[in-house]
Amino acid sequence: MADVVLLQIIQSVFWLLVLGGAIFVFRKEIKMLLRSIGSFEVAGASFHLKDQKETLKSYALLSDILIDLLSREGRIEPMRHLMVPSQIETIGAFALKYTTEVERQEWNEELLKNIAYLLFRFGRYKHAVQIYDALLEKRPDHVELLNLKALALMTSRLAEPVEQATNLLRALTKRYPEFSHLRFNYALALSLSENVEEAYKEMRRAITDGYSPAQGENPLLDPLFHHAREARPDLIEALRDHLTSIVKAAQQRAPAGAKSRAYER
């Protein structure tokens, strides 16, 4: 029995020596192999990571399924309700690193735009603006990117960013007077700037031009229009009357059997 145990020990020691020798002989190759773990593809781009341990933890969050969801066109709003702030922070860090490590011509712009939207919806407006600025370096006249950047600045509700947003939206409404959603956002920025009478004029024009928020929501109840509602309830009442008349006119123009959803007051 003792001989059998001794034989097993000798065999174990032998294979440990063989393994140790192999590691020593092929140490360079093994080191390169371990380094290659820090190189992988995500969103069609190859990443070579320096801080492998921590960065890999962050990038692991962005699986192929999540990349696909974040890269889809259209509303990204449903994704917001599935995430928590810590996850948004991780995704934001990923996006900023993405813009520095991936060649600009290979960027997944929809992915970056959607991540920026999620960031400012979670109150991370600075990171969102950084991403929009990176995208705008490539497409400086992209109207929707400029509009989204303005929205991100507005969500801060801080004087300097709101002023930047107001100036940006003022220029956009002059360049694209037919886009009622730009005028609506401009009215919100004016309200945040406490320029109530101008906010009223721009909101009235946006409604006249046919601005219609998603899901039949009342545009006058937007949280960013709070100051105008509080400061001049008389002007808001006039806007409500104007909105009601616009809705009724739209209902009358609608084909027989069709219903236009009225805004709740």
What pLDDT, in 10s, does the model give residues 55-110? 545 554 544 546 666 666 655 666 676 678 888 888 888 888 888 888 888 888 88
8 A C-beta contact, residue 239 and residue 220: yes
Beta bridge partners of 39: 48
Write down the pLDDT at residue 33.
43
Helical (H) or strand (E) element with 41: strand 39-42
* Residue-wise DSSP of 99-150: HHHS-GGG--HHHHHHHHHHHHHTT-HHHHHHHHHHHHHH-TT-HHHHHHHH
- Domain definitions of the chain by residue range: 39-140, 157-265
Helix axes 143-155, 159-175, angle to 10 degrees: 150
For all residues of the chain together, what is the average pLDDT? 77
pLDDT of residue 251: 76
179 or 64: which leads in pLDDT: 179
Q: How confident is the model at residue 170 (pLDDT cuts 50, 70, 90)?
A: very high
What share of the chain has pLDDT > 90, as a percent? 40
pLDDT at res. 104: 86
Is the whole-model pTM more than 0.85? no
121 vs 54, which has greater pLDDT? 121
Q: What is the pLDDT of residue 108?
A: 85
CA–CA separation, 178 and 165 (whole Å): 19
- Please count the CA atoms within 13 angstroms of the CA of 46 that sit on its side-chain side: 4
The reported pLDDT for the residue numbered 39 is: 53
**pLDDT at res. 218:** 85
The model's pLDDT over 196-224, given as tens digits with 9 standing for 90+, comes to: 999 999 999 999 998 877 656 788 999 99
